[in-house]
Structure 1
Amino acid sequence: MGRPLWFVAGAGVGVYAAARARRAAEALTADGMRDRLRGWQVGARLFAEEVHQGRLERETELREQLGLRPHGLPELTSGFEAPSSGGHRARTSTNDTQKDQP
């Protein structure tokens, strides 16, 4: 019973080693290297997207905690007019403009 068991075990190891050697040889070809490089690029792109998404979520959390306006809305210019030719900004309110009107 010992010899057939060792024969099957040896044959299995031989098939496994041949398959691994074939994979290693294919990986070292130009196509194999190109595939590996593309895999790394896809992985790096996915990682960068995850980091970007996490940064946006954290920024939103911090803005909510600090009571800031959402990103993209003007925070400091909301009560000011566009700069005039004099180069200074004039603050206007609805009360000032209503006083000037009859």
Structure 2
Amino acid sequence: MARSLWFVAGAGAGVYAMTRARRAAESLTADGLRDRLSGLGVGVRLFRDEVAAGQAEKETELRERLGLVPHGIPELTTNRETPDGHQ
């Protein structure tokens, strides 16, 4: 019983090591490197989009808190009369 257990454990470890070695070798081929770089590009684009969304959200929040319109022109909040007598 013990010998068969060790045989199965050794065979499983061998299969696992061969699979890991094949994947490592495959990742160093031209196609593997291209896949890794394209994955990195996708990650960078997702990060850039998340940062841009966060910036837009924070800018909107700050503009609302400061009372600015979307184009950055301050709104007049006081009731001053114009030179021609209108409010």
Alignment match, 1:57: 57
Question: What code does the residue aligned with 1:19 have?
Answer: T
Alignment match, 2:68: 68
| Identity rate, percent | 65
Residue 24 (structure 1) shift = 0.5
Q: For 2:21 and 2:69, how far apart are their aligned partners in 1?
A: 60
Which structure has the bigger radius of gyration?
Answer: 1
Matched, 1:22 2:28: no
- Secondary structure class of the residue paired with 1:20: helix
Q: For 1:7 and 1:75, how far apart are their aligned partners in 2?
A: 78
Q: For 1:14 and 1:75, how far apart are their aligned partners in 2?
A: 69
Q: For 2:73 and 2:60, how far apart are their aligned partners in 1?
A: 15
Alignment match, 2:35: 35
Residue 31 (structure 1) shift = 0.4
How far does the alpha carbon of each residue in 1:2-42 deviate from its partner, in whole angstroms, 9 at most, with x for none?
10000000000000001001101100000000000000010
Moved over 2 A (4+): none
Aligned length: 77
Question: What code does the residue aligned with 2:55 have?
Answer: R
Residue 75 (structure 1) shift = 1.9
Q: For 2:15 and 2:40, how far apart are their aligned partners in 1?
A: 30
How far does the alpha carbon of each residue in 1:36-86 deviate from its partner, in whole angstroms, 9 at most, with x for none?
00000100010000000000000000000111111x3x627xxxxxxxxxx
Consecutive unaligned residues of structure 2, counting only runs of 5 or more, are: 75-81
TM-score by length of 1: 0.70
Aligned-residue CA RMSD in angstroms? 1.6
- Secondary structure class of the residue paired with 1:68: coil
